[in-house]
Amino acid sequence: MLAPAAPGGRWLKVYFGTPGNTAITVVCAILIGLALKVALTWLLINAVFIGSPADCKAGSGACWPYLAAKLRYMLFGVYPMEEQWRPLVAVLIFLGALAVSGAPRFWGRRLLLAWLVLMPVLYLLVAGGALGLAAVPTSQWGGLPLSFMLSFVGLVCALPLGVMLALGRSSNLPAIRVLSIFFIELVRGVPLVSVLFMASVMLPLFMPQGVTIDKLLRAQVAIILFAAAYIAEVVRAGLQALPKGQTEAAQALGLHYWQYTFLVVIPQALKTVIPPLVSLFIGFFQDTTLVTIVGLLDFLNTVRTALRDPNWQGIAVLEGYLFAAVVYFLFSALMGSYSRFLEKHFRMGHD
């Protein structure tokens, strides 16, 4: 009986097992090496780390003084500079709460209650108007805190609505099923830009005279409704993948519809669709950039606006976008890693 190949031997066989694989490996290694050389030369070797726009203009590498000069604007937009400690503290508390909430040992009603208390506190910290904090209108909110708020609040509110729409589409009651199908197909049939435009321009036309709705709230509601339609289809796929024996067993135990739906069906369906749900969440986190159509400056739009500064225009072109790409990649990668953690925690695919 032959001994199993060593990990190193298996690696060599994959990349150098045949002449064709060897050629592809060598060519790819050369191209990657050349790309790394060009990137490191621009990022570090020829880069300007300290100086003015004139110093950057004379150099041939990255202009890192631009990031130092525009970092606060890119992160917080037009939020008053002397009050920017408030959104910074709010973001740090928010990220810390997310990290704690990700641990399974903290899951439960107490965690839900803690979030119900924390969210108004964070809103008060950013909005002000009480406890000696200066009021800051939502028209001055922007940057990374706005992107976090729109995506997190939107997805948290859209998830239960999406679950109810999925149940409605699978319902045996014709009226509920037709209404759910109509809403889902209507929303999924138009792009998010159109929904935001309707919420920004068309909705005020239907309001009574003198009644206005904050544009941030309009954008948030539009994102919730749009995300709910897509979440509904993902959850419906999980419902269809669940064996009917689970429902029949629950009914045999005497559980009524709502009991076996939320105690048996929904938990198993959500476990099944963790990967597509997280992919959807990542997509909507990145799609918050579309709120610029309603006059809001999210993180990417504050980066774009910073690039238009006459002092730096034509000097720092890629640095801002590179910084935005790193931030989006970091948080998207963290969400993807947490998705894999949840799959292992629930032992998906190992039954």
Task: Report which residue type is found at 111.
Answer: L
Cβ–Cβ < 8 Å for 308, 231: no
Phi, psi of 297 (to 5 degrees): -105, 95
User: How much is the pLDDT for 6?
Assistant: 52
Judge whether residue 351 has pLDDT over 60: no
User: How much is the pLDDT for 350?
Assistant: 44
* Domain locations in the chain as residue ranges: 46-79+136-346
Task: Report which residue type is found at 45.
Answer: I
3-class DSSP state of 33:
helix
- CA dist 211 and 22 (Å) reads 70
User: How much is the pLDDT for 1?
Assistant: 43
Query: pLDDT digits over 93-112, tens only?
Result: 999 999 999 998 998 889 99
Judge whether residue 176 has pLDDT over 80: yes
Of the candidates 338, 318, 349, 323, the residue with the CA atom closest to the CA atom of residue 62: 318
At 289, the pLDDT band (50, 70, 90 cuts) reads confident
CA angle at 152 for the pair 143 and 277, rounded to the nearest 5°: 125
Decide which of 314 and 189 is more confident.
Answer: 189
**Average pLDDT across the chain, whole number:** 86
Judge whether residue 170 has pLDDT over 50: yes
Decide which of 253 and 30 is more confident.
Answer: 30
User: How much is the pLDDT for 92?
Assistant: 95
User: How much is the pLDDT for 82?
Assistant: 92
* Mean pLDDT for the stretch of residues 209-228: 85
Percent of the chain with pLDDT over 70: 96
Judge whether residue 91 has pLDDT over 90: yes
For 46-79+136-346, the fitting CATH number among 3.40.1640.10, 1.10.3720.10, 1.10.1200.10, 2.60.40.10 is 1.10.3720.10
User: How much is the pLDDT for 8?
Assistant: 55
- Poorest-confidence range of 272-281, 292-301, 337-346? 292-301
Judge whether residue 3 has pLDDT over 80: no
Q: Is the pTM of this model over 0.75?
A: yes
Query: pLDDT digits over 250-262, tens only?
Result: 888 888 888 888 8
